[in-house]
Amino acid sequence: MYRTASLISLLIWIIVSSLNAKEREYAIAIHGGAGVMRGLTDDSPQAVQYYDALDSALTIGERLLAAGEEGPKVVLAVINYLENNPLFNAGKGATVSAEGTFELDAAIMTGNGLKAGAVAGVKKIKNPINAAYAVMMHSPHVMLSGSGADDFAGGLGLEMVEDNMYFATPKTLKWIEQFKRESGKNGTVGCVVMDKDGNLTAGTSTGGMLKKRWGRIGDSPVIGAGTYADNNSCAVSCTGHGEYFIRHAVAFNLCARFKYLNESVEEAANYIIFNELNATAGNGGLIAIDKNGNIAMPFNSEGMFRGYLYKEKDESSSVKKIGIKKDIK
């Protein structure tokens, strides 16, 4: 009799919990790199610039998601904005290689059908994320690199730059001359989305590691390392010390923990960032959205440019949070 009553109570609790649970209509998370954030107090003029840029990126994404746009188009629009903003290490403002040139990487993946495209080491494509999307949509391949990727993008009519120095800014020109590690901008930009149809998309774009040599490629364009999406689990975009994110297959690892260990997206993300990686070897962070629109954004570095926005199906307004150093749960 006692066991029956307990089972009935449990069933009632499950039913009530499911009725009270809010279903998200759409969700988006973005990042603009993780690492050293010296001089970026919450109210400094430079911090305000980053807050404004992250807010603008989320606004672009929200407008498209609210209108019912599909995830890939939202990710492209948001990352295009971030690639064109010289504050970030992607596109215009990318960090410089040891040879004094700019070599850019990007990837995009859709959770619906596990479609993916990536480019690595490109030098002439204005917006590498657009080239990654073109690889996904217009080629039988997943990743193209170097001059071949540049030629592929140019052949499709994507916007190109004649001079690789287009990607330079006054700060990166100073790096070319002095190679000073004077900035906290040592990451990537990324965007993960759950659209109104419940489809997940992840995209990442980067200028890579300062003073990289020998055609070094980090985790950002590597599907499963820096970028991954699966409608049965999560969408993930990573930023940080790419070699370690590759070794730990961080993006796929998170999705696998969610899918096979039944961990929440936050539990899975926290375990990887704080247990498998650490702040001295493999520092950085990630953004992730699960199939229900729940968001995780942990980092083990000094700071991380990040923000999120979501809308519940039964609410008239959305929830938006932006941060650099402090927790923004």
CA 274: distance to chain centroid? Answer: 18
DSSP secondary-structure letter at 1? Answer: -
Q: Is the dihedral of CA 188, 300, 324, 28 positive or negative?
A: positive
Burial of 214 (0-12, 13-18, 19+ CB in 10 A): exposed
Angle formed by the axes of helices 146-155 and 128-138, to 10°? 80
Do 191 and 203 meet the contact criterion of CB atoms below 8 Å apart? yes
From residue 154, alpha-carbon distances to 122, 148, 159, 264 in Å are 11, 10, 7, 42
Report the relative pairing of strands 234-240 and 319-323 from DSSP bridges.
Answer: unpaired
From residue 108, alpha-carbon distances to 59, 221, 237 in Å are 20, 8, 9
Place of tokens 């039944």: 262
- Counting Cα atoms < 13 Å in the Cβ hemisphere of 34 gives 29
Options 95, 110, 172, 188, the catalytic residue: 188
Question: Would residue 188 show up in a list of annotated catalytic residues for this protein?
Answer: yes
Which DSSP string do the residues of 226-279 spell out, in sequence order? TEEE-TTSEEEEEEE-HHHHHHTTHHHHHHHHHHHS---HHHHHHHIIIIIS-S
Please choose, from the candidates 220, 12, 18, 209, the residue with its C-alpha nearest in 3D space to the C-alpha of residue 97.
209
Alpha helices in 67-182 (DSSP H): 71-83, 128-138, 146-155, 170-178
Q: Could you give the residue numbers annotated as active site?
A: 188
